[in-house]
Amino acid sequence: MSGNISHHVFRVRTLYKKILQLHRVLPPELKALGDQYVKDEFRRHKSISLQEAQNFLQEWENYAMMLWQQANQHAQNATNQPHFGAHLSEEKLNALRDEQLGQLQELMQEATKPKRQFDILDDGDHRH
């Protein structure tokens, strides 16, 4: 049993690192949002059943594969505006629990906020 657990932990850590690495190709705002979301989701799912863990990992592996493919497409067509993400199928959307739908709604709202504008001041610059 210990071997299965250590293999599972290795799989989770490898996937987690792979996703964070893939996020490096995202625009800065999406990278920050994506990194935080991944960290929260992996932390939130530390103590789930084996079946839930398998489903969780499969979905994140699908996400990683999709992001890898989109990053490669963008690298080959660097002149085009990058396109990341995908629409959820009605089947997947209907399979979500209320809590998950709430999280998805929050994520969508955060991802579609206008870019925040801010000034970066040198140490010698002061606003009056």
Q: What is the pTM of this model?
A: 0.73
6-41 pLDDT, tens digit each: 888 899 999 999 999 999 998 898 899 999 999 999
63-77 pLDDT, tens digit each: 999 999 988 887 777
* The pLDDT of residue 1: 53
* Residue of 110, 101, 96 lying closest to 37 (CA atoms): 110
Cα angle for residues 47, 94, 114 (degrees, 5° grid): 85
